[in-house]
Amino acid sequence: MRIVLMGAPGSGKGTQAQRLVSRFGIPQISTGDILRQHRKEGTELGKRADAIMAAGKLVDDATMLEIIRERVARPDAQSGFILDGFPRTQPQAEALTTLMKDLGTPIDAVVLFEVGANELVRRISGRRTCSLCNKVFNIYSAPPASPATDCVPGSSEHQLFQRKDDEEATVKQRLQVYEENTRPVLSYYSDAGLLRTVSAEGAPEQITQRLLEALGNGAAATRPASGAKRAKSAKSARRVSPRKRAARAAPRRGAAKTRARTAARRTPIRKKAKSKTAVRRRARPVSARKGAAKSRAAPRRRSRKSKR
Ligand SMILES: [Zn+2]
């Protein structure tokens, strides 16, 4: 099962991702974490990312895709993964589709964790950090015990403060930016028939239940066209054992640098060639997408659920 998780800051998707990890035994792939790890270990990718960031730029899509390609080739991801933190833009989503098609392992579902704006603001602006022990609390949902037994030795009370990022005005701004950036990605996945929306308010257990139902129903609700395609790629994937596939992918890992350079040249060209037909088949207004993404997104919403 290959899933992409999407949700605003404070939507609780991290918690739910962890539950999926232990339930299905598939890894959570968080691009941010992997990038940090590469930089820490000083790998080729890490060095490249360092150079990019030292120049004050954002790590480019080709590098991010390289990271994902390398990560999904590892043995623990052969029966699936939960992708978190990527894609954040429509070009990234398109590139991810191309990559997964190349690998013969398309994404099965994209889950959006939906939480009302007021609730999100409440959740995030309730966060408090202890300046002594760095633990994070929530004055609404997870207040610290008083007196505290889990702070630094010698302190019977946590010294709570609110991070600038968590202040209400900042939160509202962050959420607005998130929504503007994400809207086209959600439209893209909705057009592809992959989007499942889960109401992420309420008890964590209930949300998990809804999530599992959404994933189960997802398989049944698959469109015939993509269903046939999926069956085909599943078949071809079966012919090669996961171990062999991993072994095949392994030598390429060593040549990350060269490959990355080729990928950077190759991806956009291929993407264009491949997605043309797919695009024609599914979504007419793609030609109007450039520059008109915003005005287009609103009327194309199919359900009230995906409105936020
Ligand atoms: Zn403390």
**Calpha distance 157→144 (Å, rounded):** 9
Number of neighbours of residue 208 by Cβ within 10 angstroms: 16
Prediction pTM value: 0.62
State the sign of the Cα–Cα–Cα–Cα dihedral 52, 36, 197, 80: positive
- Residues with Cβ within 5 Å of ion ligand 1? 130, 132-133, 151, 158
| Secondary structure class of 252 (helix, strand, coil) | helix
- Alpha-carbon distances of 126 from 121, 165, 167, 168, rounded to whole Å: 8, 12, 9, 9
| Set 88, 135, 270, 301: catalytic member | 88
| Set 23, 36, 163, 300: catalytic member | 163
Q: Which helix (H) or strand (E) holds 295?
A: helix 289-300
* Ligand 1 centroid from CA 164, angstroms: 18
pLDDT score for 298: 44
Q: Are 83 and 4 in contact (CB under 8 A)?
A: yes
What's the one-letter identity of residue 233? S
| Secondary structure class of 28 (helix, strand, coil) | strand
**Calpha distance 219→183 (Å, rounded):** 24
* Ligand 1 centroid from CA 138, angstroms: 13
**Using one digit for the tens of pLDDT, what is the confidence trace for 50-104?**
888 888 888 889 989 998 999 999 999 999 999 998 999 999 999 999 999 999 9
**Calpha distance 149→142 (Å, rounded):** 15
Q: Are 5 and 13 in contact (CB under 8 A)?
A: yes
* Ligand 1 centroid from CA 32, angstroms: 27
> Active-site residue 172, yes or no?
no
**Calpha distance 88→266 (Å, rounded):** 21
> Active-site residue 127, yes or no?
yes
Q: Are 268 and 276 in contact (CB under 8 A)?
A: no
Residue written as token pair 């990559």:
99
> Active-site residue 280, yes or no?
no
* Ligand 1 centroid from CA 124, angstroms: 19
**Calpha distance 36→46 (Å, rounded):** 8
Residue written as token pair 């994070």:
136
> Active-site residue 174, yes or no?
yes
State the sign of the Cα–Cα–Cα–Cα dihedral 223, 226, 232, 236: negative
CA neighbours closer than 13 Å in the CB half-sphere of residue 117: 14
**Using one digit for the tens of pLDDT, what is the confidence trace for 172-199?**
998 998 889 889 999 999 999 999 999 9
* Ligand 1 centroid from CA 261, angstroms: 47
* Ligand 1 centroid from CA 132, angstroms: 5
Provide the β-strand partners of residue 6.
112
> Active-site residue 253, yes or no?
no
**Calpha distance 155→174 (Å, rounded):** 34
Length reported for the chain: 308
- Alpha-carbon distances of 146 from 152, 157, 161, 291, rounded to whole Å: 14, 6, 16, 54
pLDDT score for 243: 55
Residue segments in the chain with a per-residue pLDDT below the cut of 50: 217-240, 249-308
pLDDT score for 10: 87
* Ligand 1 centroid from CA 158, angstroms: 4
| Set 2, 71, 128, 174: catalytic member | 174
Q: Which token pair is 220?
A: 């049944």
